Structure 1
Amino acid sequence: MALTTKVAAGFGGMALVLMAGSGIASAAPDDSVIVNSTCTYPQVIAALNAEDPVAANALESSPMANGFIQDLVNTPPSGRQAKIDKVRAYPAAAQFSGLIAQVANTCNNY
């Protein structure tokens, strides 16, 4: 699988924070970082650029992943968990969980 596709799967779900387990309908403790985030799209991208510029470039080059992140950020917290659960269907996304957690925990600093 190409890096862009992997990043699309991983960051398309930005909500994968620490993968609490697939198929769980309610918010897992680690999901709350994403579900309750107040970060804007520019903050997420700035944090991602600071944490991993290569991954940030791949994300920004993928219309699918980029669109998903924008949609996730613009979705109210009450609707984010469903998006998180959908992304868990992509096993390739699991490798990005650490980076996703870092971005989720630092994006408010940007």
Structure 2
Amino acid sequence: MSMTTKLVASLCGAAATLIVGGGLASATPDTNAIVNSTCSYPQVMAALNAQDPAVAAKVSSNPLATAWLQQLVAAPPPQRQVMVDQAAGVPEVQQYSGLIGQVATSCNNY
């Protein structure tokens, strides 16, 4: 896998999990928060920007990550579950578990 492909996969994975409830690093991730979220893409990005502007900039500057996150937010719950399950397989995503939890619990405030 090329470095660019790994970077895009990592960013898409991070984007996919931005509104997941905390615990991606655990053996059984809690995906209820993302699957049933009522947050819009602007709310997710506002919460992410408030929590970690550097990560928000990385996501928003990558068209693939942005498109993937927008698709995730717009998807119905069954499709979201599939997308989240796929993203959970990206090892780089685990480093964002704390941030993900913060965004998941605050995105409805934006």
TM-score greater than 0.5 by the shorter chain: yes
Q: 2:103 and 2:79 mapped to 1: Cα distance?
A: 20
1:65 Cα deviation after fit: 1.1
Q: How many residues align?
A: 103
Matched, 1:11 2:15: yes
Which digits, 9 at most, give the CA deviation of each residue in 1:44-82, with x for residues without a partner?
Answer: 010001000000000001112111110110001222111
Q: CA deviation at 1:95?
A: 0.4
- Runs of at least 4 residues of structure 1 off by over 4 A? none
Aligned ranges 1:86-97 → 2 under 5 Å? 86-97=86-97
Distance (whole Å) between structure 2 residues aligned to residue 105 and residue 13 of structure 1 = 13
Retained in 2: the 8 A contact 1:12–1:66? no
2:106 paired residue number: 106
Quote the sequence identity (%).
Answer: 43
Question: Residues of 2 paired with 1:16 and 1:62: CA distance?
Answer: 23
Contact 1:13–1:68 (CA under 8 A) maintained in structure 2: no
What is the identity, as a one-letter code, of the residue corresponding to 1:9? Answer: G
State the partner residue of 1:73.
73
Query: Taking structure 1 as reference, are residues 100 and 92 closer, same or farther at Cα in structure 2, changes over 3 Å only?
Result: same
Q: Which residue of 1 aligns with 2:46?
A: 46
**3-state DSSP of counterpart to 2:98:** helix
d(CA) in 2 for partners of 1:50, 1:79: 28
Q: What secondary structure sits across from 1:37 in the alignment? A: coil
Any unmatched runs of 5+ in structure 1? Answer: 23-27
Scaled by the length of structure 2, the TM-score of the pair is 0.81
Q: TM-score, normalised by structure 1?
A: 0.81
- Matched to 1:18, the amino acid is G
Once the two structures are TM-superposed, the CA of residue 12 in structure 1 deviates from its matched residue by: 3.4
Cα distance change on mapping 1:8 and 1:78 into 2, 3 Å = closer
Structure 2 stretches lacking a partner, 5+ long:
none
